[in-house]
Every structure is written in C-alpha cells, then in structure tokens.
Amino acid sequence: MSEPLVQVRDLKVHFPVKGGLLGRTRGTVRAVDGVSFDVARGETLGLVGESGCGKSTLGRAVLRLLEPTSGSIRVAGRELTGLSQRELRPLRRQMQLVFQDPYASLNPRMTVEDILAEPFAIHGLAKGQAREDEVLALLDAMGLPREARSRYPHEFSGGQRQRIGIARAIALRPDLVVADEPISALDVSIQAQIVNLLVDLQRERGLTYVFIAHDLKIVEYVSTRVAVMYLGRIVEVAPSRALYAGPRHPYTQALLSAVPVPDPERPRARLLLPGEPPSPLSPPAGCAFHPRCPHAMERCRRESPPLYPLGGGHAAACFLAEGDSRDVPADSTSGGGAGVLAQPSSPG
C-alpha cells in the first residue's frame, strides 16, 4: 500500500478565550482536541458533525490556514507543522480549499479571468498566452461559457460562483482539496450539479478530497470513508458503506436516525437525542457525549474512550465497542495505532 497523501496525528487546535478589561485569558476552546487520521491518494474522506464540532477548524488546520496548537500534519510525506508561511508558500499549490460561500470568497472587483489567473501569477506559472489558455481550459472544465471570463462575480448565480471557486482551487492541479460545506449555500436543484462536477474532477485529475459537510446524504454519496466528529474529536470513522449500514457510536446512530428522509413510507423510528451539544469551552468530563447518550455508564463519566479498531477500517470511540476491539486502540495521546485510521484497501 502506498503512503497516504495526508497523515494527521494527535492534532490539537486550541483557541484562548479572552475577556474583561485587561483581555486576560479566561479559558480555552478545544476546537480540535487530539485528532488522528489518514487520507489515501484519490479517496474522499467525509468529515461530518454538527456546528461547533470542530470540522471546519480541522479542515483549515490541515492546510495550515490555522495554526495548530500541537500534533503532526504530513502531506505527501512532508511535515507541515513548524514551517514558516514563506516555507509553506510553494507547498500551497498542492493543497487548496473550496469555501462554503462562493460569493464571500471571490473578490467582487476582479473579473473571472483575473480570479482564475491569480494562482498562476502568485506561483509564477504559465505566462502570457499559456496562462490565458489555462483559464479557458478551466472554464471549459467547469461547464462555464468562455465569455464568463470578462464578467464579475456578482453577475453569476450561486451555483456558477461555486464553479468559479472550484476552478480557482484546482487551477494549479493540487493533490489535496479540502471542500468546506461546498454545497450548503446552494439550492437543492443546483447541489447535485456541483457534486457531480466535484466527482468528475476527482476522477479526471486524481484529486484527493476532504469533504466537510453536515448533509449526511451527500457525504455518504461522495465519500470513500467518513469520520464523525463530536466536540473536537473523531468519535467514529469507517468506510462510507460500513458507517451508514452499521454505525457503532451512539452519536452516529442518533445523527443518522435524525436525517429527514424524503420518503413518507419510511417509518420514522427516530432515536431522539435529548439536550444539545455542550460548549467546547467546558466539555463534560469523561466521554464528551455521555450527558446525551442513552447508553451512558458510570465509566463514561470518568474516562474518555479511545478509538477502538473494529476491523475493516471501522473504529469507534465508545466503551460499548471495546469488546469487539481487534487491536490496540488507536489512542490519540500516543499517536499510534494508525492502522485503523487508514483505509482498509485502496479505493476502487
């Protein structure tokens, strides 16, 4: 098996919370709190969880757009933590971000041609006619008319703007694209177009995706593997099909049963979770999910469960899964046990 494109080990991103007149630090938000995972070349890792679970922070930290507090991020074998912004710049063309809101992320005063030519200019690539050809090729690949190049972002619909955002991200043929809620701002009839575009681009260009979303139906559709986050940690990770067919963590089970399914014949056997996610400023002791968990035991209030490997690339951070554990747990504090964090086999 070839080396994973992305290897994240025990990544932590903590934000100090300042308050009061003197701006003293009053606490710490552990937005990402000890996360380890791999992403194989050409696969899509889906990252799901509710708002505040740390999925967007994690996505940005992997690209070093946010400063990690501790831990290791390797992309294509190169350690990214500790590099200065200057050292990072040449690596940036290998890893790109697609934003949720394509309007806020496109400069309103630049034409589409300027927007798409900018990455080439920054990295000193494809000058003159060659650069122009690259821009036209990008427009073609996005299904946008070539006349679009002389127009401004506000002249486009949401779906078209997202196509421009994607074009900019893939302009320099990156290996890794982190897509942060790329379709949630779009209308239902447009979402499928953008998902199809992303899937086509992945196939044509061998892209590797980290796909962050809260829509579990779309995540299942696009992902090779899915990681579920709760309060800064991965609570379950598995190949997409295994996760949706047999979720092992009670949170994943509740999340899946809460998805509104467009089928009135389907019985609504909902596992209704009580309460709401706790504040990441003061997470509960032990397993962070225990106050809402229907199966919480005494032990859950004291100890935080590690990710137990369950075979076939499936792992869950729940004591109920401990009995089925196949291996040493992928304890996030040791950074070991990476076997379960990788894909079980190369994607098809």
Instruction: Yes or no: say if 303 and 287 are a contact pair by the CB < 8 Å rule.
Output: yes
Would you count residue 78 as binding another protein (CB under 8 A)?
no
Instruction: Yes or no: say if 185 and 102 are a contact pair by the CB < 8 Å rule.
Output: yes
Would you count residue 188 as binding another protein (CB under 8 A)?
yes
Residue 163 C-beta: closest distance to another protein, Å: 11
Helix (H) or strand (E) holding 238: strand 233-239
Residue 194 C-beta: closest distance to another protein, Å: 9
Instruction: Yes or no: say if 315 and 324 are a contact pair by the CB < 8 Å rule.
Output: no
Would you count residue 348 as binding another protein (CB under 8 A)?
yes
Binding part of the chain for another protein, among 105-113, 134-142, 153-161, 330-338 by CB under 8 A, reads 153-161
* Alpha-carbon distances of 197 from 127, 165, 179, 194, 205, rounded to whole Å: 27, 12, 13, 5, 12
Length of the chain, in residues: 348
Would you count residue 262 as binding another protein (CB under 8 A)?
yes
Would you count residue 204 as binding another protein (CB under 8 A)?
no
- How buried is residue 245: exposed, middle or buried, by Cβ count under 10 Å (0-12/13-18/19+)? exposed
Would you count residue 208 as binding another protein (CB under 8 A)?
no
Closest listed residue to residue 35, CA positions, set 65, 3, 73:
73
Of the two residues 91 and 256, which places its CB atom closer to another protein in the complex? 256
Indicate the DSSP class of residue 88.
H
Would you count residue 218 as binding another protein (CB under 8 A)?
yes
The Cα–Cα gap between 330 and 336 comes to 6
Give the one residue of 4, 119, 159, 329 binding another protein; rule: CB under 8 A.
159
Would you count residue 269 as binding another protein (CB under 8 A)?
no
Give the one residue of 36, 208, 224, 304 binding another protein; rule: CB under 8 A.
224
Q: How many residues bind another protein (CB under 8 A)?
A: 56
Give the one residue of 259, 281, 285, 297 binding another protein; rule: CB under 8 A.
259
Query: How many other CB atoms are found less than 10 A from the CB of residue 295?
Result: 12
Binding part of the chain for another protein, among 62-70, 96-104, 165-173, 252-260 by CB under 8 A, reads 252-260
Alpha carbons within 13 A on the beta-carbon side of 167? 27
Chain residues in the site for another protein (CB under 8 A) = 43-44, 46, 50-51, 157, 159-160, 187-193, 195-196, 199-200, 203, 214, 216-218, 220-225, 239-241, 244-245, 254-266, 268, 270, 272-273, 276-277, 347-348
